[in-house]
Amino acid sequence: MANLDRVKFGKTVRRLRLEKGWTQEVQADRARLHPTYIGGIERGERNVGLDNIIRLARALGEHPAALFGVAQK
């Protein structure tokens, strides 16, 4: 079973991706990650390391804190 924090993180990643109109393949390409890894993140199945959090955030044009639902001042 997925950890609730990972599920919340994954839902945020998915929401930000969909706001850009991207497929998982587009996001994976931009973040230099595998599309199945992106899917696992979005379903809360993956425990994402710091390097990949930064890759995801940069690809989305967001601060890494935004992926955790933390508003930037």
Task: Give CA–CA dist 1/58, Å, rounded.
Answer: 29
Q: What pLDDT, in 10s, does the model give residues 9-67?
A: 999 999 999 999 999 999 999 999 999 999 999 999 999 999 999 999 999 999 999 99
CATH class of 4-65: mainly alpha
Structure-token pair, residue 12: 């945020």
Q: 38-66: b or e for each residue (b if 16 or more CB lie within 10 Å)?
A: bebbbebebebeeebbebbbebbeeeeeb
Task: Give CA–CA dist 63/5, Å, rounded.
Answer: 18
Whether 55 contacts 32, CB under 8 Å: yes
Indicate the pTM of the whole model.
0.90
Per-residue pLDDT band at 72 (split at 50, 70, 90):
low
